[in-house]
Amino acid sequence: MMKRHTLHIIYSLAIVIAAICIALLLPNQEAPQEMPFPQRDYKEIKSDGILNVVTEYNTLGYYAEKDTIAGFQYELIQAFANSKGLRANIRPVMDFEERTKGLNEGIFDLIACNLLATSELKDTIALTHPILLSKDILVQRKKNGNDSTFIANQLALAHETIHVAKGSPTLLRLRNLSHEIGDTIYVNEIDKYGPEQLVALVAHGDIDYAVCDEKIAHALADSLPQLDLTTDISFTQFYAWGVRKQSTELLDSLNAWLDSFLHTEAYNRLYRKYYRK
């Protein structure tokens, strides 16, 4: 009996030892690590011949007009692409965070819309030299009689709820403004809506307040006369395009082109066409 029991133990140990040896000899079967995202820079873009661009659909930057695409950002992108012998593959995406995520994951090479040049955004992506000057303003409906919802100045923003596009750099400005006035400003981030859609929601009474780039808001003002756009939220600030931090050659190429093109009559005509109608 003892001999049979001893043989059983020896047999079990042999199986365990064999299993350990096999495990050590087999290739490492750990869960596969995630592959790094493809990092295209200017050399790869030039070789491919295609510049993948993400922008925002709005009245000024990129929009459909009958059977054609138009807009300040659209024409500026095309001018850069044509100067480099590239084809611009442009995709409009309304969600700010989705644009940034797509850039850093290599889906897009360039974010070509009005990016507020904040230090917070510069921690995430690389920004080009400034393209435009603008500022954020409060969008609300005009005062009607003894309307208690009308905000006449920044101090009156205390305890009010302001709607902004999700992930927008405007969030940082509103947090700073809250500290400046010494009171709470509630911020509601709206998913999948851009500034233009927020302006329409204010105009039709769905929400009371939104913050928007002044140029977009004023472009809509003629068709939405019920809006008040007189309360500034920020000072005049720089707006730029964005690329991945690793895309240093693309950034240099964009900056060199912008430094030249922004001083041409072609740029002046483009600016007047969309911003000085």
- Supply the pLDDT for residue 100: 94
How far apart (Å, rounded) are the C-alpha atoms in residues 17 and 104? 47
- Supply the pLDDT for residue 41: 96
Tens digits of residue pLDDT in 173-198: 899 999 999 999 999 998 878 888 99
**Total of domains in the chain:** 2
The stretches in the chain having pLDDT less than 50 are 1-2, 6-11, 13, 16, 22-23, 26-27, 29, 31-33, 35
Tens digits of residue pLDDT in 80-112: 999 999 999 999 998 888 999 999 999 999 999
- Residue that has been written with the tokens 């917070």 in this structure: 120
Q: For residues 256 and 227, state if they share a domain.
A: no
Q: Is 184 part of a structural domain of the chain?
A: yes
Give the CATH number, domain containing residue 156: 3.40.190.10
Q: For residues 200 and 253, state if they share a domain.
A: no
Owning domain of residue 214? 136-235
- Supply the pLDDT for residue 170: 87
- Supply the pLDDT for residue 145: 73
Q: For residues 140 and 226, state if they share a domain.
A: yes
Other Cβ atoms less than 10 A from the Cβ of 12: the count is 10
Q: Is 14 part of a structural domain of the chain?
A: no
Q: For residues 230 and 146, state if they share a domain.
A: yes
Report in angstroms the alpha-carbon separations of 270 from 108, 122, 134, 155, 256. Answer: 25, 27, 16, 37, 19
Q: For residues 100 and 189, state if they share a domain.
A: no
- Supply the pLDDT for residue 16: 46
Q: Is 12 part of a structural domain of the chain?
A: no
Q: For residues 49 and 113, state if they share a domain.
A: yes
Q: For residues 59 and 80, state if they share a domain.
A: yes
- Supply the pLDDT for residue 59: 87
Q: For residues 216 and 141, state if they share a domain.
A: yes
DSSP β-ladder status, 186-190 and 161-165:
parallel
Contacts of 61 (CB under 8 A, 6+ apart): 55, 71, 72, 73, 74, 113, 114
pTM to 2 decimal places: 0.79
Q: For residues 215 and 148, state if they share a domain.
A: yes
How far is the first Cα of the chain from the last one, in angstroms, to the nearest whole number?
Answer: 103
Q: For residues 97 and 117, state if they share a domain.
A: yes
